[in-house]
Amino acid sequence: MFTNAMIMNFMPLLAVMNLWYAVPLIVSVSMVCAATRHEELGPILNHALRFGFWIAIFMGAVMALLALMAMLA
Amino acid sequence: MATINIPNSQGSTKPEDLIEIDLKQPWLAAILAWALPGLGHIYQGRTGKGILFFVCILGTFFYGLYIGNGKEVYAAVPWEQQYRWQYFCQLGVGLPSTPMLWQRSKSLKDPDHNHTGFMAPPRPGRPYNGPFETPDESGNISRQPSERAKWTLDSHPYAEISTVYTVVAGLLNILVICDAAAGPLLISPQPDKKKKGTDDSSGDNDSTKKKSDD
């Protein structure tokens, strides 16, 4: 059903799966950083959500830049 | 004993809205926060934040340790080609990371440099040990010049991910130590230009008032 060539074409996509390891790290970093800036649970969660979102955006931007550089190389 | 007052979640600095935090003995809280993430906050009665820090930081640290097969937390030894600076960051986690110092001293005292164990540094290659043999992905035996190289190959690509997890956990605990010693790092609310001069919450930096009894 799947030839070796087809599987090889998907290899870069499988490599991207390592990005899943960033998710628990983003959650942990955003929660701890937010908790060191507030004392109540509501503001902590609110800050953590926004902070986690911006970390993800930043990582996505860096990944896009690296992908672009790899294409141009 | 030290107590600080911080604005509430709406940023109000009115006396009735202020949140009072009893830091107790800040230096003791800082030491406890280093020893076990969250313990300093629990000592101060800030139990919710203490549990949050405990779960997040130790969860990150031990998950990192797990995915690296327990090999990525160790102290620098002179025979390694690259200096293991990461261990300073990993020490930020406190007591859970301190076995690496004990293992380092045992490795340095061993004349054959053949000491192994939990959080022990990698053994040197020739003339003491090695080469270290390990099967690669195709089942062939590859020979590595040092145990560090063998570990990297055995757990590729998780060696690097594991190091990132454990280093980040240690660095996060530095923020927690500061929070235990001095309270939250407040972000001053933006001054409201329309209400400037009439509202108490005008974003001045005097919103945190600290009083010390001793």
Q: Tell me: the pLDDT tens digits for A19-53?
A: 889 999 999 999 999 999 999 999 999 999 999 99
Cα distance from N-terminal residue to C-terminal residue, chain B: 6
Distance from CA of A71 to the nearest CA of B (A): 23
Q: Which amino acid is at B204?
A: D
Q: What is the pLDDT of residue B188?
A: 66
ipTM over 0.90: no
Looking at the 3D structure of chain B, how many domains does it have?
1
Q: Is B48 on the interface with A (CB under 8 A)?
A: yes
In chain B, the residue whose alpha carbon lies closest to the alpha carbon of A29 is: B172
Interface test with A, best of B4, B9, B158, B164 (most A CBs within 10 A): B9
Structural domain contains residue B197: no
Q: What is the pLDDT of residue B27?
A: 96
Structural domain contains residue B201: no
Q: What is the pLDDT of residue B206?
A: 43
Q: What is the pLDDT of residue B190?
A: 61
Range of the domain at A33: 23-72
Q: What does the alpha-carbon distance between residue B181 and residue B200 come to, in Å, rounded to a whole number?
A: 27
Closest CA to B185 of B193, B175, B173, B171: B175
In chain B, the residue whose alpha carbon lies closest to the alpha carbon of A17 is: B157
Structural domain contains residue A66: yes
A18 with B157: Cβ contact below 8 A: yes
Q: What is the pLDDT of residue B162?
A: 96
Q: What does the alpha-carbon distance between residue B57 and residue B64 come to, in Å, rounded to a whole number?
A: 11
Structural domain contains residue B66: yes
Residue A9 has pLDDT above 90, yes or no: no
Structural domain contains residue A5: no
Those residues of chain B that have pLDDT short of 50 are 196, 198-209, 212-214
A33 with B52: Cβ contact below 8 A: no
DSSP of B109-131: H-TT-----TTPPPPP-TTTS-P
Preceding peptide of B127 cis, ω within 30°: yes
Higher pLDDT among residues A16 and A26, named by residue: A26
Q: What is the pLDDT of residue B103?
A: 96
Range of the domain at B57: 2-192
Q: What is the pLDDT of residue A10?
A: 63
Structural domain contains residue B202: no
Q: Is B46 on the interface with A (CB under 8 A)?
A: yes
A40 with B185: Cβ contact below 8 A: no
A32 with B57: Cβ contact below 8 A: yes
Structural domain contains residue B213: no
Structural domain contains residue A27: yes
A29 with B172: Cβ contact below 8 A: yes
Looking at the 3D structure of chain A, how many domains does it have?
1
Question: Residue B19 corresponds to which tokens in the numbers above?
Answer: 């949140």
